[in-house]
Structure 1
Amino acid sequence: MRQAMSSFPASITEAARIDGAGELRIFGTIVLPAMKPTLAALAIFMFLGRWNDFVYPLVITRTPEQYTIPVALASLQGVGTTDYGQLLSGTAIAVLPVLVLFVFLQKQFVSGMVAGSVKE
């Protein structure tokens, strides 16, 4: 986010200041909409980091009813045997929220990837 904000053209914000816009208006109507692809990528990565968090929920939770999905999936792996059917179905369920989030933010995410590829 810092890099995206620092690479934002200063001439655009200066033009808005000359037109009489305040700092909050410049940020809300000019800078923030231009940062949508960056915010979408940040949202996906932040959600993925929290969704796949393993160590903290493993330490904090006390009963199997409180387990998060990664901790529950790890508990399905036994010492001698592993039920791969349960493990793979649990993994498919764990992927669904991330997939739904990506589908909703796909437009901003893809536009951010190709934004710098075309020179005008």
Structure 2
Amino acid sequence: MRKRLAELLDDPALIARYRDAMDGQAVGRMTPSLPHVDGIPTDSHLRVRLTTARAVRETGEDAVILPAAGNTYEFAPEVEAVLRPLVDGRTADLAALADAAGLDAPSVVALVQELVAGQAAVVGSLL
């Protein structure tokens, strides 16, 4: 058992695998989206950012997977353009996210609302 454990610990990919596994589980910075607790209005000037320190996205043919704040979100492939700037750590307004993805504002608001409900994102006008 000791020999096998030593072999596993010597694996250069061990740290990367551990980090990847933990990134999606990292709890976000708890930030309420005041005054938008009950819902996010379709306001193109509202800004959004992820609350997780190390979000990752996995892009496949049929879906984009976002493990964040202890949840796993699965979205349609066209949503990847919305998630890209957020996962990169940027704060973006809803209009820019909709334009980048070629989606309508209500669709982007629904996606962001799902992330806010799971405490993976925060919205506000002063972010």
Normalising by the residue count of structure 2, what TM-score does the alignment of the two structures yield? 0.27
- Name which one, 1 or 2, has greater alpha-carbon Rg: 1
More strand by share: 2
Higher helix share: 1
TM-score, structure 1 as length reference = 0.28
